[in-house]
């Protein structure tokens, strides 16, 4: 049963939990503790947009090299519009959720066509762009343009539910709406203080506090700048909040993939646009489903349309995507007539070409493995 919350009552209760007190504490903490990240050294909305999209579902440390390379190669909206699809996929390869990068290019085209190549400043205009939701639009408006637009992501949700003692599932409509209202009250309180960057810093302070201090496990409440006003801390409920639903059980999935080489070239294929990891390249593979114990020979015949002369186990790649724990067994397949592989199924590429193509991370690991083979280093 969702807990009914009145945001104004929450900020007023205890006679001290009020934004006028909390906001300066959060701003001062952010000034002294924020990590020095490249997207924090700019007010360029394009750069902030790129960082925000990359940071969705992805850790800061993982994003850093991707962000630097992207900004080096595609520093402007114009350069993103002109970039080839294979280039943007290669720059994104490894970050996953590739619809994000395709939406970015669509959004960039809209900015050029509808906004004369100027990043729009109005919240509604930004929200109307492909792939941009309420959180990202709020982040761009506040960080790049200093507007009092709230943000609410996983980190901010955790901080707000604990600070204000908000029970119930934060993903439920009513609770979520209350949390958005609390986030708005805080950022609007920052806007009335003296200083140009307050809205940007307040929103980033909430994100940063959630990332560094108010962490999901073992939060560092002892060093938290708002601990003496935090409801969860004072009531001993930190471990209970936020009341997120249980995660779906993990599911094991097993794939087999085949590395076929002929005269120094490897056979790879491109995934169709409409599937997961669409547009990316991969080694021919299939999922072994239904718990049936299908051997690699049967799988090879099904995937390649013909029987290889021999199969040798090469490596096993393990990785996790959302709730799936995936094991991919990779075999080297020898074929006396590789020409039997239909050209329409894929294409033959040198190792150098493979290194330039975008692969999902599991298949990229196979390319890296091939690059380390003695035959490719002589
Ligand atoms: Fe989070 Fe602890 Fe700070 Fe409360 S006191 S906001 S639970 S870190």
For 117-173, write each residue's pLDDT tens digit. 999 999 999 999 999 999 999 999 999 999 999 999 999 999 999 999 999 999 999
Atom of ligand 1 nearest to the CA of 158: 1
Write down the catalytic residue from 52, 208, 261, 329: 52
What values do phi and psi take at 377, rounded to 5? -125, 15
Q: How far does the centroid of ligand 1 lie from the alpha carbon of residue 222, in Å?
A: 8
Q: Give the DSSP H/E element, type plus range, for residue 257.
A: strand 251-262
Q: Is the CB–ligand 1 distance for residue 230 below 6 Å? A: yes
pTM (2 d.p.): 0.84
Per-residue pLDDT of the chain (378 residues; tens, 9 = 90+): 445 456 656 565 544 468 889 999 999 999 999 999 999 999 999 999 999 999 998 999 999 999 999 999 999 999 999 999 989 999 998 898 889 999 999 999 999 999 999 999 999 999 999 999 999 999 999 999 999 999 999 999 999 999 999 999 999 999 999 999 999 999 999 999 988 899 999 999 999 999 999 999 999 999 999 999 999 999 999 999 999 988 888 999 999 999 999 888 999 999 988 888 888 999 999 998 765 667 888 888 888 888 888 899 999 999 988 889 999 999 999 887 777 776 668 899 999 999 999 999 999 999 999 999 887 876
Q: How far does the centroid of ligand 1 lie from the alpha carbon of residue 133, in Å?
A: 27
Q: At what angle do helices 154-164 and 198-212 cross, to 10 degrees?
A: 90
User: Pocket of ligand 1, candidates 10, 208, 219, 241: which has the most ligand atoms within 8 Å of its Cβ, to mutate?
Assistant: 219
Q: Is residue 221 within 8 Å of residue 47, measured between CB atoms?
A: no
* Burial state string for 24-42 with b = 16 or more CB within 10 A and e = fewer than 16: bebbebbeeeeeeeebbee
Q: How far does the centroid of ligand 1 lie from the alpha carbon of residue 202, in Å?
A: 16
The tokens of 184 are what? 């708005």
Q: Looking at ligand 1, which residue's alpha carbon is closest to its atom 2?
A: 221
Is 274 annotated as catalytic? no
Q: Is the CB–ligand 1 distance for residue 159 below 6 Å? A: yes
Q: Looking at ligand 1, which residue's alpha carbon is closest to its atom 4?
A: 230
CA 253 – CA 233 distance, rounded (Å): 41
Q: Is residue 281 within 8 Å of residue 363, measured between CB atoms?
A: yes
Atom of ligand 1 nearest to the CA of 241: 7
Length of the chain as a residue count = 378
User: Pocket of ligand 1, candidates 230, 239, 240, 243: which has the most ligand atoms within 8 Å of its Cβ, to mutate?
Assistant: 230
Rg of the chain over all Cα atoms, to the nearest angstrom = 25
pLDDT at 344 (0 to 100): 65
CA 280 – CA 337 distance, rounded (Å): 27
Q: Is the CB–ligand 1 distance for residue 219 below 6 Å? A: yes
CA 50 – CA 63 distance, rounded (Å): 10
CA 129 – CA 127 distance, rounded (Å): 5
Q: Is residue 156 within 8 Å of residue 202, measured between CB atoms?
A: no
The C-alpha angle with vertex 165 and arms to 161 and 169, in degrees rounded to 5, equals: 50
Q: Is residue 176 within 8 Å of residue 170, measured between CB atoms?
A: yes
């Amino acid at each position: 049963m969702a807990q009914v919350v009145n945001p104004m009552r929450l900020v007023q209760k205890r006679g001290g939990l009020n934004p006028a007190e909390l906001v300066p504490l959060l701003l001062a903490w952010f000034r002294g503790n924020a990590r020095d990240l490249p997207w924090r050294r700019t007010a360029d909305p394009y750069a902030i947009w790129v960082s925000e999209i990359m940071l969705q579902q992805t850790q800061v440390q993982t994003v850093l090299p991707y962000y630097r390379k992207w900004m080096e190669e595609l520093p402007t909206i114009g350069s993103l519009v002109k970039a080839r699809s294979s280039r943007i996929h290669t720059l994104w390869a490894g970050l996953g959720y590739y619809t994000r990068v395709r939406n970015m290019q669509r959004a960039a085209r809209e900015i050029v066509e509808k906004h004369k190549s100027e990043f729009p400043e109005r919240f509604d205009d930004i929200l109307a762009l492909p792939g941009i939701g309420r959180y990202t639009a709020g982040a761009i408006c506040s960080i790049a343009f200093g507007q009092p637009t709230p943000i609410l992501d996983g980190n901010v949700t955790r901080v707000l539910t604990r600070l204000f003692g908000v029970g119930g599932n934060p993903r439920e409509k009513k609770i979520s709406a209350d949390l958005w209202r609390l986030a708005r009250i805080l950022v609007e309180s920052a806007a009335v203080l003296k200083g140009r960057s307050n809205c940007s810093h307040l929103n980033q302070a909430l994100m940063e506090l959630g990332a560094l201090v108010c962490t999901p496990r073992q939060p560092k409440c002892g060093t938290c700048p708002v601990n003496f006003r935090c409801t969860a801390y004072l009531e001993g409920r930190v471990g209970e909040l936020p009341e997120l639903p249980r995660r779906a059980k993990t599911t094991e999935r097993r794939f087999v993939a085949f590395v076929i080489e002929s005269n120094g070239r490897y056979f790879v294929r491109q995934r169709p646009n409409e599937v997961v990891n669409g547009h990316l390249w991969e080694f021919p593979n299939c999922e072994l489903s239904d718990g049936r114990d299908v051997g690699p020979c049967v799988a090879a015949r099904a995937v390649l349309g013909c029987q290889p002369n021999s199969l040798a186990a090469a490596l096993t790649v393990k990785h996790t995507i959302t709730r799936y724990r995936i094991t991919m067994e990779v075999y080297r397949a020898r074929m006396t007539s590789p020409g039997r592989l239909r050209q329409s199924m894929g294409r033959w590429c040198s190792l150098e070409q493979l290194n330039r193509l975008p692969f999902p991370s599991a298949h990229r690991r196979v390319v890296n493995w091939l690059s380390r083979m003695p035959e490719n280093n002589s």
